[in-house]
Amino acid sequence: MVKKASVYENVTRQFNKAADLMELDLNIREILSHTTNEISINFPVKMDNGHIEMFAGYRVQHNSVLGPYKGGLRYHPKVNLDEVRALATWMTWKSAIVDIPYGGAKGGIQLDPFKYSFSELEHITRRFTFALRQYIGPEYDIPAPDVNTNSQIMAWILDTYLSTIPPKERHCSIHVVTGKPVESGGSLGRNKATGQGVVFCIEEWAKDNNFDLSGATYTVQGFGNVGSWAARLLKPHGAKLIAVEDITGAVHNTKGLDPDNLTEFVKEHGGVANYPDSKEIDHKTFLSTEADIFIPAALEGVITEETAPLLNVKLVAEGANGPTNIMGDEILQKRGIHLIPDILCNAGGVIVSYFEWLQNKRSEYWELEEVDSKLYKKITNAYKRVRDTAKKFSTDWRTAAYIVALSRLETVYKERGIFP
Ligand code: NAD
């Protein structure tokens, strides 16, 4: 039996394909094929019942030639070093594509957050932050939310980190983490930023392809931060959400599911299962649903050699990181299904994290309109760079996005050289 490629092997293959095509300098290729630091921490936490439980946490820093390490923190039972390494590497490419001064990092704790109380999650977060404190910092490595983490968790990280540094440095260090609650130094528009970026990319694609979004149909996998915001922001275009899947199941309605009502329902019931006025469908039926657009916004490895033949859509807009493996990519290309790759499509989150970081450094608060218009400019410029690169190299959009990122990194390495 052929062994399935790991998430990181998938990144390596994507990287190699682009590096071959653009003839990336061999020395720079070697540097970028490695992560810089891989931190694994096993740490104890006292549970509500007085027992101690051990947890495994990770932070991988891939590259910082363009700026401080930047990337989310994930809480999930399947978090492991291979996955975090892949996610950290994608962050380096993402920041380079959208032209922001960051490197790439990612972290996570291997746990099922739904099994723990609010106070246990606080203790787990604070203890992990304490253990990580010398490896993160406002000008060094800046975490943000990812799967199963949110602004509350960022507030705990902020508070714990600030408690470990001298009082004089605290007020100029709140940019140690982004995705904070607005009242604690977060940015307006950060919560919806990733979904907003996905929708800006879909709008550009629609313009390029003379496609009318009003009346278009779409499906979404994952109805958390990214998926629910993308759906809510597509609603004003008149597009119709006809199927949604999350960890609790999948629901369908050809007449349309209202994204705002569904978001309220998920907040109350923990998932989309049993949403009124919808039919429950299984995973295979969900993936085979005929629609114009599919937005994967859950986890990696959803569109593979087994599932890519099932998709019945014109466009895949990758809200999640790594939803498509290399074989899935090849099948989508052969079938003529367009794809806006993750490292471009979901970059809205890191772009507005950068805006939050800038506001903190300058002690400013920007209006939402300012955040949104700056996000629009950054992500649509990146979209055009990727589109034009795909044409220039006659290649697929994922490879083109890599070429945009790798060209920028190659230029900087050539200008700076390698010490000594
Ligand atoms: P989230 O925790 O808010 O939501 C995750 C969603 O995925 C939930 O609805 C969950 O039920 C669903 N899900 C989990 N396992 C599933 C499964 N096996 N099948 C179907 N659905 C499943 O997370 P999020 O922040 O929305 O992140 C989603 C994806 O977007 C991840 O790949 C993440 O790395 C990526 N991303 C997030 C951000 C951000 O700003 N939050 C930025 C860039 C990329």
- pLDDT given for residue 2 in this prediction: 59
Tell whether ligand 1 has an atom less than 6 A from the beta carbon of residue 226: yes
Distances in Å between the alpha carbon of 27 and those of 19, 104, 419? 12, 19, 13
Short-list 161, 133, 131, CA closest to 55: 131
| Active-site residue identified among 106, 180, 240, 378 | 106
Ligand 1 in reach of 341 Cβ (< 6 A): no
Whether ligand 1 lies within 6 angstroms of the CB of 222 is answered as yes
How far, in Å, from the CA of 79 to the mean position of ligand 1?
13
CA–centroid distance, residue 54 to ligand 1 (Å): 25
The Å distance, Cα 315 to ligand 1 centre, comes to 19
Distance 412 CA to ligand 1 centre (A): 33
Give pLDDT, residue 1: 55
Please tell me if the CB atom of residue 146 comes closer than 6 angstroms to any atom of ligand 1: yes
Count of alpha carbons within 13 angstroms of residue 415, beta-carbon side = 8
Ligand 1 pocket mutation pick from 147, 152, 229 by most atoms within 8 angstroms of CB: 147
H helices present in 171-275, as ranges: 193-208, 225-234, 259-269
What residue's CA is closest to ligand 1, atom 3?
224
Alpha carbon of 191 to ligand 1 centroid (Å): 13
pLDDT tens per residue across all 420 residues of the chain: 557 889 999 999 999 999 999 999 999 999 999 999 999 999 999 999 999 999 999 999 999 999 999 999 999 999 999 999 999 999 999 999 999 999 999 999 999 999 999 999 999 999 999 999 999 999 999 999 999 999 999 999 999 999 999 999 999 999 999 999 999 999 999 999 999 999 999 999 999 999 999 999 999 999 999 999 999 999 999 999 999 999 999 999 999 999 999 999 999 999 999 999 899 999 999 999 999 999 999 999 999 999 999 999 999 999 999 999 999 999 999 999 999 999 999 999 999 999 999 999 999 999 999 999 999 999 999 999 999 999 999 999 999 999 999 999 999 999 999 999
Q: Find out whether the beta carbon of 346 lies less than 6 Å from any atom of ligand 1.
A: yes
Q: Identify each DSSP E strand in 208-337 by its residue range.
A: 217-221, 240-246, 249-252, 279-281, 293-296, 315-317
**Which residues, 6+ apart, have CB-to-CB distance to 343 below 8 Å?**
90, 93, 94, 97, 398, 401, 402, 405
Pocket test residue of 177, 246, 345 for ligand 1, highest count of atoms within 8 A of CB: 246
Give the CA distances from residue 372 to residues 70, 157, 190, 303, 369, in Å, rounded to whole numbers and listed in that order: 21, 26, 10, 30, 5
Give the residue whose CA is nearest to atom 28 of ligand 1: 298
Determine which residue's CA is closest to atom 41 belonging to ligand 1: 146
Residue nearest atom 18 of ligand 1, based on CA coordinates: 247
Pocket test for ligand 1, best of 194, 232, 355 (most atoms within 8 A of CB): 194
Q: Is the CB of 160 under 6 A from ligand 1?
A: no
Q: Is the CB of 149 under 6 A from ligand 1?
A: no
Report whether residue 28 contacts ligand 1, using a CB cutoff of 6 Å: no
Residue 214: the pLDDT is 97
Quote the tokens at residue 371: 């955040």
| Gap between the Cα atoms of 412 and 92, Å rounded | 13
CA nearest 180: which of 360, 384, 7? 360
| pLDDT of amino acid 143 | 98
Ligand 1 mean position, distance from CA 263 (Å): 14
pTM to 2 decimals?
0.98
Reply yes or no on whether 384 is catalytic: no
Q: Whose CA is nearest to atom 35 of ligand 1?
A: 320
CB-based contact 55:87 (threshold 8 Å): no
Which tokens in the block code for residue 333?
């290309």
**Is the CB–ligand 1 distance for residue 91 below 6 Å?**
no
Pocket lining: 221 vs ligand 1, CB cutoff 6 Å: yes
- Asked whether 297 lines ligand 1 (CB < 6 A), one says yes
The alpha carbon of 25 and the centre of ligand 1 are apart by a number of angstroms equal to 35
Residue 350 Cα: closest atom of ligand 1 = 42
